[in-house]
Chains A and B, each alone.
Chain A
Amino acid sequence: KAGVTQTPRYLIKTRGQQVTLSCSPISGHRSVSWYQQTPGQGLQFLFEYFSETQRNKGNFPGRFSGRQFSNSRSEMNVSTLELGDSALYLCASSPGLATYNEQFFGPGTRLTVL
Chain B
Amino acid sequence: DAKTTQPPSMDCAEGRAANLPCNHSTISGNEYVYWYRQIHSQGPQYIIHGLKNNETNEMASLIITEDRKSSTLILPHATLRDTAVYYCIVRGGSARQLTFGSGTQLTVLP
State the A residues within 8 Å of B (CB). Answer: 4, 33, 35, 42-45, 48, 55-56, 58, 88, 90, 92, 97-99, 102-108, 110
- Label chain B's interface by main secondary structure: loop
Q: Smallest CB-CB separation from A58: which chain B residue?
A: B97
Residues on the A chain within 8 Å of B45, using CB: 105
State the B residues within 8 Å of A (CB). Answer: 34, 41-46, 49, 87, 91-92, 95-102
Q: Smallest CB-CB separation from A110: which chain B residue?
A: B41
- B49 to A92, Cβ gap below 8 A? no
- A103 to B100, Cβ gap below 8 A? no
B34 to chain A, nearest CB (A): 7
B4 to chain A, nearest CB (A): 13
B94 to chain A, nearest CB (A): 8
Residues on the B chain within 8 Å of A33, using CB: 97-98
Residues on the B chain within 8 Å of A88, using CB: 41
A101 to chain B, nearest CB (A): 10
- A45 to B46, Cβ gap below 8 A? no
- B97 to A105, Cβ gap below 8 A? no
State A43–B49 Cα separation when bound (angstroms).
Answer: 19
Residues on the A chain within 8 Å of B43, using CB: 4, 90, 92, 105-108
State A43–B37 Cα separation when bound (angstroms).
Answer: 12
- B42 to A108, Cβ gap below 8 A? yes
B82 to chain A, nearest CB (A): 17
B2 to chain A, nearest CB (A): 15
- B95 to A99, Cβ gap below 8 A? yes
- B97 to A107, Cβ gap below 8 A? no
State A90–B96 Cα separation when bound (angstroms).
Answer: 17
Q: A42-B102, A102-B49 are in contact. Are A48 and B97 (CB under 8 A)?
A: yes
Residues on the A chain within 8 Å of B99, using CB: 45
Q: A45-B99, A56-B96, A98-B98 are in contact. Are A90 and B41 (CB under 8 A)?
A: no
Q: Within the complex, which residue of A42, A44, A48, A108 is in contact with B96, where a contact is CB–CB below 8 Å?
A: A48
